[in-house]
Structure 1
Amino acid sequence: AQQERRRRLLACLRVTRDVACEESQEIGLEGALLGCTFNKLSCRSCGLSVGFVLYSAFSDLAYLRGFFCFFKDSILCYLLKNKMVIEASKVKFPALGLQEELKKLKEKFLMVHTRLELLTKKLEELNRKNNVAEKQS
């Protein structure tokens, strides 16, 4: 999770089943989401709106597209160390470096690329064998 300080948001890559993402998209008519298209996030337990997932946005919010964005004033955090529940707005979340996330993503892409190359070579070999067999018959 990464904190977006100016807008008092907490941006997450994934969420638990306790968070419902509405299928229908809405268009922001006022405030920070004016003109943006988004899906609302709500708590499955109490039904309260807790955030959004941006689908389309102007350039100043574009970096939040695809993240689960929670209103810090609308959620509670459980502190494992202290065994306490506290408002998220009172918790400081460390910023995650994109460098490490990009490195992991690059490794995954390299693995997929390697697999695709192997599959392509196998397919070419099968095609060659098939062509030879057809010529011999």
Structure 2
Amino acid sequence: MEGMNRVEDDVSAFAADLRRLRLHADNPTLTRLQHTSGVSKSVLSEALAGRHLPSVRTVDALVRALGDGDHRDDWISRRDELAEQRMPTLEHPSGPIPRGAAPIANDLQRSVTAKATVAIAGVALIAGVALGSWSTAWILSLR
């Protein structure tokens, strides 16, 4: 964990530290890391490039595969801190929702959106069946 870039931490710095860890582990290929970590090469590549913040599972598997399992909790804590920094603070009529509560609010929003989507699809299906029956009856009446 020494040499970790904690000053002005962001996803790029996190990825740079993962790359540094990879170099200290004799720079294994992505194919080798895929076999030892169980994470796909594309996900590993994105994590090491800093394109986005990797998941907890990816960080855990990568750190273990690179031989730094003793510091696994430190890496995951750092990743979680970055995830929390990146979360928008949601507004609520009673005031802003604290950052730690944002995942719950986001899950609730996704749940409501999913239920609304299912409801709309159901109405569309019923309307389609009704229109299909009506159009079939209309076509048959033309004969």
Shared fold by TM > 0.5? Answer: no
TM-score by length of 2: 0.38
Q: Which has the higher helix share?
A: 2
TM-score by length of 1: 0.39
Relative contact order, higher structure (CA 8 A, sep 6+): 1
Q: Which has the higher strand share?
A: 1
Find the structure with the greater CA-based Rg: 2
